[in-house]
Structure 1
């Protein structure tokens, strides 16, 4: 049973990512950690304290509302929902949770194509991708879960020294009919590597897969 960490800013994008993850991992979820991070305002010290208290209370209120929404949307799921309101930037807050808690996956919402264009100006999601080394699922607003059919795995076909990097993907493939399509894109002349392709095939094991 899995524990997933979901950073949220209480937007529709974040809530969509939450619902997507719950449906995607139906029957596999033990715990969801909802995390909201708020940063210290840059003002005078006395005003800072007041604003921090307001931000903390708003954070805690938003987390409680999100928990109630999830329980209403997914009644009887049996998922333990843990709430964390933290002061600081999001990447540091996520790392702090990862130190204290065994988390299988981080799930975040994105604004779709706009999010990746925003890599240049470091959007929140892009910053987390750059700074946090942990399995992540980034969910665009157009993503819809009905039935998981195909997972695209992009690879450079280099030797995989850590088999654990495929664990989350392989766990998803326990769903009936799910398969993996392995894509290898190279510059110039294709660099075929039958040995590493064979090794990757062995790591995927009984999971239905093919190479493109």
Structure 2
């Protein structure tokens, strides 16, 4: 009976912790970082956006829509998944859901052809893992990504000239061997063939929502 009571108490504590959202809209501070938190609007209203206020380039840039996802982008996505995997503790890896999605907006230094900054992180508002991931731990991952990410040598110029999105699922972070194999195949693909990426208009419902917001 005591074990059952303890189990119920433990579950209550866990649920309470996950119901506490660290990233309310506004300014959120850790010991080593300050983030600005905003809720998405229109077609992005389900997402929470987190931006490091000390980013080197604070110029707003709209992310273009692309006609394909080339293997270079798969390479980058899988690198990020592996970097996050290596940056999380065993306890954190066990807590993350397979379907948990974390997105990032990347900006490249056009002269150096290397990652300049993680312009922002974003996640679904009802995603408990990332909503309760401390600012300092997020900053740790941010710094790891900036230090370790290697842009593909044949990265299309379109990704150098404009910001681009990166998306990583919890399953890609957890199943690291599959992630490495996916990256290996992507590298093989972009080395053997050139992939042309073009900007295409965003879907009409996205444009309409943007106009409505204005």
Superposition TM-score, scaled by structure 2 size:
0.22
Between structure 1 and structure 2, the one with the greater Rg is: 1
The higher-RCO structure (CA 8 Å, 6+ apart) is 2
What TM-score does the superposition give when structure 1 sets the normalisation length?
A: 0.22
